[in-house]
Amino acid sequence: MSYFLMLSKSHGEGLLSRYQSLRQDGRMCDIILEAEGKEFPAHRTLLACSSDYFWSLFQEHTLESKAQTVCLPAVSSTGLELVLDFIYTSWISLSSSNLEDTLEASCYLQVTHALDLCTEYISNSLTLDNCCFFANVAGRYSLSEALAITNSFIARHMAGLLGPNGDRSGLLELNLDSFREVLGSDKIPGVKETALLQLALDWISCNTLPALESNSLLSRIRFGLVPPEDLNQLRSHNPPLRTPFIYSLIEKALHYHLQVPLQPLNQSVHTSLRASTNMVLLVGGGVEADRPQTQIQSYNPDSKMLQMLPVNMAKKLQHQGVCVVGNFLFVLGGEVVEVDGENEKMAVMTVSDQVWRYDPRFQHWEEMEPLLQKRAQFSCCVVEGVIYAIGGRGQREEPTLSSVEKYNMYAGCWRSGVSLPYTVHGQACATIGKGIYISGGIHGSQTESSKEVLFLNTCDNDVWVRRSAMSIARFGHQMAAVKGKLYAFLGMYEPFCDIESYDPKENQWTRLKPLLQDRFCYGLTVTPGGCVLMFGGRQWRDGQEVCIVIWRKVYKLPQPLCGTQCVQMSLQELIET
For 227-237, what is each residue's pLDDT tens digit?
Answer: 999 999 999 99
Confidence of residue 446 (pLDDT cuts 50, 70, 90): confident
Pick from 366, 363, 286, 280: which is nearest to 320 by CA? 286
Predicted local distance difference test score (pLDDT) of residue 549: 41
Does residue 370 form part of some domain? yes
Region for 65 from its dihedrals, namely left if φ exceeds 0, alpha if ψ lies in -120 to 50, beta otherwise: alpha
Mean pLDDT for 290-318 is 86
Using DSSP, state whether 565 is helix, strand or coil.
strand
Predicted local distance difference test score (pLDDT) of residue 354: 95
Run of H or E including 571: strand 565-572
Which amino acid belongs to residue 485?
K
Dihedral, CA of residue 558, residue 564, residue 565 and residue 568, to nearest 10? -10
Question: 186 CB contacts (<8 Å, ≥6 apart)?
Answer: 272, 274, 275, 276
Does residue 441 form part of some domain? yes
Listed range (58-72, 353-367, 372-386, 449-463) with the worst mean pLDDT: 58-72
pLDDT at 342 over 60: no
Does residue 202 form part of some domain? no
pLDDT at 145 over 80: yes
For 474-533, what is each residue's pLDDT tens digit?
Answer: 998 999 999 999 999 888 765 567 889 999 999 999 998 877 777 778 888 888 888 888
Predicted local distance difference test score (pLDDT) of residue 555: 59
Does residue 20 form part of some domain? yes
Does residue 511 form part of some domain? yes
Domains in the chain, number: 2
Contact call for residues 79 and 105 (beta carbons, < 8 A): yes
Cβ of 64: how many Cβ atoms within 10 Å? 15
Confidence of residue 337 (pLDDT cuts 50, 70, 90): confident
Does residue 564 form part of some domain? yes
Does residue 500 form part of some domain? yes
Domain boundary among 95, 125, 155: 125
Instruction: Please state, in angstroms and rounded to a whole number, the distance separating the CA atoms of residues 303 and 296.
Output: 18
Print the SS3 string covering 304-320. Answer: CEEEECCCCCCCCEECC
Cβ of 205: how many Cβ atoms within 10 Å? 12
- The pairing of strands 69-71 and 31-35 is parallel
For 261-279, what is each residue's pLDDT tens digit?
Answer: 999 999 999 999 997 788 9
Instruction: Please state, in angstroms and rounded to a whole number, the distance separating the CA atoms of residues 178 and 137.
Output: 11
> In terms of DSSP H, where are the helices of 185-309?
193-206, 211-218, 228-237, 244-258
Domain boundary among 99, 125, 151: 125
Report for 21-30, 304-313, 329-338: range of highest mean pLDDT: 329-338
Predicted local distance difference test score (pLDDT) of residue 513: 82
CATH code for the domain in which residue 538 is found: 2.120.10.80
- Spacing of C-alpha 438 from chain mean position: 32
Residue 502 belongs to domain spanning: 271-572
Domain boundary among 125, 150, 174: 125
pLDDT at 548 over 50: no
Confidence of residue 102 (pLDDT cuts 50, 70, 90): very high
Contact call for residues 352 and 314 (beta carbons, < 8 A): no
The model's pTM = 0.84
CATH code for the domain in which residue 42 is found: 3.30.710.10
pLDDT at 65 over 90: no
pLDDT at 543 over 50: no
